[in-house]
Amino acid sequence: MTIISYNVNGIRAAIKKGFVEWLVAANPDVICLQEIKAQEDQLDLNLFAEAGYPHNYWFSAQKKGYSGVAVLCKSKPINVVYGTGIESMDYEGRNLRVDFPEVSIMSLYLPSGTNIQRLEHKFEYMDLFQSYIDELKKEIPNLVICGDYNICHEAIDIHDPVRNKNVSGFLPEERAWMSGFLASGFTDAFREFNSEPHHYSWWSYRANARANNKGWRLDYTLVANTIKETIKRAVILKEAVHSDHCPVLVELTS
């Protein structure tokens, strides 16, 4: 199974930039989207069906044009779960899970900490999410949690760790949470295959950051250790340019 995660920074804008054509060429079994910034009724779902993804699921934020996640599948999952059941997490449309017989895949869009209030919300979300996953794993152990975590875990995951040490996304508390989350039973699939710096998944639109590769690795495919041995490869697809993020891919063997 090939799984892609992609923060599209607005699915309608991405479609205008050739997203659907790219999706057909990339041909994953499942693609998790974040920051869709659209309601389901604002989209032509036939586009996705015709691209080979007749089973597409959308969990939008209550606020229009903001946040939201989706999962597009070639094959029909046996179960779909919208949100977490925790109101403070779900009203912004940040979690959507599809279950298959051997693996469950979640699209996650963790909040950013753009100001003090949002940073407090981010920390609250992180704590609630850890507790939610701790319980979920008892029922569904074979999880792959794909998405934009809005955290650079290590110094090699950010282009300038010194200047950004006090910036949300690379705060010591955020990085410690990421370490703890991984330690609770997950593997950072990309780092299983690549331990080198300068591999990023997000670049600012300012100062020609992408061309100069001054980026942050915010997007992850975290695979439960129960199925760690099935990880075949994990890569960052930096050539895709429909967003300020790029997609990340993990392939699992059966």
CB contact set of 83 (below 8 Å; sequence gap of 6+): 59, 89, 90, 93, 94, 95, 96
Which range of residues forms the domain containing residue 218? 2-252
249 within 8 A of 235, measured Cβ to Cβ? yes
- Write out pLDDT tens, residues 211-249: 999 999 999 999 999 999 999 999 999 999 999 999 999
- Residue 37 and residue 65 in contact, taking contact as beta carbons nearer than 8 Å: yes
The count of domains in the chain is 1
Query: What tens digit of pLDDT does each residue of 12-33 get?
Result: 999 999 999 999 999 999 999 9
**For residues 68 and 58, what is the distance between their CA atoms, to the nearest angstrom?**
8
Q: Tell me: the pLDDT tens digits for 102-133?
A: 999 999 999 999 899 999 999 999 999 999 99
Residue 148 falls in the annotated catalytic set: yes
Out of 29, 41, 90, 148, which one is annotated catalytic?
Answer: 148
Average pLDDT score over residue span 136-160: 98
State the pLDDT at residue 254: 79
- CATH code at position 24: 3.60.10.10
